[in-house]
Structure 1
Amino acid sequence: MNCPAEPPILLDLAPKPTPLNDALAALGVEVRRSLPAPGELPAGAVAGCMMGFYDYVSRPWRAWKLKRVLGPGVPVIAWNRDAPGYLNKRPWRLALASRLEGLDIYATHAITDDWRFGKEVALLHNGANIAAYNLAGRSLESLRDEGNYRYDVTFFGAMNADRYKEYLPRERFFGALGQALESRGINYRFIDTSRTPMSVAEQVELVQTSRININYGAGCEYGAPMGYGLPERCFGIPACGGFLLSDYRLHAADAFAADEWADYTDLEQALQRIDYYLGNFAEARAIAERAYRRVLACHSYRHRAEELLALLADWRRRHGA
């Protein structure tokens, strides 16, 4: 997709810039972090206005104020990369924000329930920052050499439940998994990054020296019945050439083909899959290489920026803006 010449400006009023900002800039879009002064921009110059999703939930009336300031031709959109983390908000706030549907477009990486929050709902996955998470000078061919691996199973991520209750399920899972792997004589390493921070280079090295990279849970899913959206690691690990074994994710089928994805539903099945893929290394590498190519073809943040622009352009076309 080519970035449209008009309109070239996107307003991003979220408290923190999204990972899309650099990708949008690379596509030729000017991303502004504040509202323009009255009369500063010609009519039609703004493609859309992004606001923080939790800012919308806390103050849904702000979306209506933005639409009054920007005019009817500028869609207001929020991207929820933390679903279903909003479930810990006050129920009346969620009900009000959903009932008002103040957003023109509610984009989310996990469509999980009946909460809408916007007049239109769109699935917008997380992605891979391939400038940071990539082969790092290695080749897919070198990753086929089983002698280059130091670990059988690894995980890195926050799991300090003493400080953050939302990581309790993850802490328990990896505690039980570690005991089971030890009893099988399987080499593993689990790193709690809330206690032991890792640089990007260290993360990439661990991914590329691990036969199996596990994904389990996310802090935002605390109290939710199951996982839906794909955390960034589900794209970043394949981008590094690593083999990902993930807990079940409903939206995995929207992002990867069946032969590009490996998952499990519980601890027992995780152990079964670990045993299987350690015994079938070539098959695991074939899945990893297909996933790598899928991420590069479809799941970088440049792709997400293109999808966002397409959403906004389609909205403007349908609303005669």
Structure 2
Amino acid sequence: MTMKALVLDQNTSFGIKLSEVELPALQSHEVRVKLYAAALNRRDEWCRQGRYPNIQNGVILGSDGAGIVEAVGEEVDKDWLGKEVIINAANHWGENQKVQSGEFQILGMPKNGTLAEYVQVDVDRLLSKPSHMSFEEAAALPLAGLTAYRALFYHGQVKAGQKVLVTGFGGGVAQFATQYGIVAGAEVYVNSSKEDKINKALELGAKAGFDYRKEAWVEEAKSISGGFDLIIDSAMGDTLPGLINLLVPGGKLVFYGATLGNPPMLDARRVFWNQLTIQGTTMGSDQDFRDMVDFVTKESIQPVIDSVRPLEKVLEAFELMSNGSQTGKIVVKIN
């Protein structure tokens, strides 16, 4: 059985290509999901550019996906057949809720991912698709939704009435963190480089937004908010001193990436004197994933989707993501 799939190919000019791929035999503990939609993540672009560790040509990219279970292995309950599901892209987290195991992997590299007509995964990677979401909306949820949930609730311990800053609004994790914080009763603020992205955050219920291209944005944010109890960030780099300056005493900075690289300096005196916490985070555990899906289902949270394209035009989707102009998730419609 063959299928269309987007595979990594560093021998091509764009680094990826659509190919016909042979599906391997279904293992006894696996399910085969016919995918109706998948979504792009920044890690897919890093793989395409050859910037992700241990990349391998021929691997199918994609971590997010939603579809219908079409076949089950011998050890899998046949009740899964025909169910609408989303896929947990985090594999082998381990038993420690605090940190992932050394075997932790994300679907889509090194194992085949979701930018294909089918994906085969262990049955314990599945949860029922939230009933209030379409396949396209559900496909936008797993990786970014899980990362935001762990950052905001597990590490951030967000509470109603707190002031929260989410940086880089427009990306997948940032839009979920913004929505989660608002639903949790926090006063949520954002920053971005685009006015239309800030306007979208305000439409969702954010209190204010700041253009981080402006030299005085930190002073503006501090003047308007009075400072933040919690900051959710993915950039780091030379933005760190300003973020530390924005935290109130006892505040916490949780970061899930470092797209701008390592910080050039750390104001250690301000950190220890103000009892600040700087906490790193990744995607999340299986428990985090279950809690996240329950949360978005209970609160009827809808992902912000920038655009939907067919699998045949997936290269266009990568071009859009590479220039960073999207607001929300870029989704690929497959079946």
Point out the structure with the larger helix share: 1
| TM-score between the two structures when normalised by the length of structure 1 | 0.29
TM-score w.r.t. length of structure 2:
0.28
Which structure carries more strand by proportion?
A: 2
Larger radius of gyration: 1
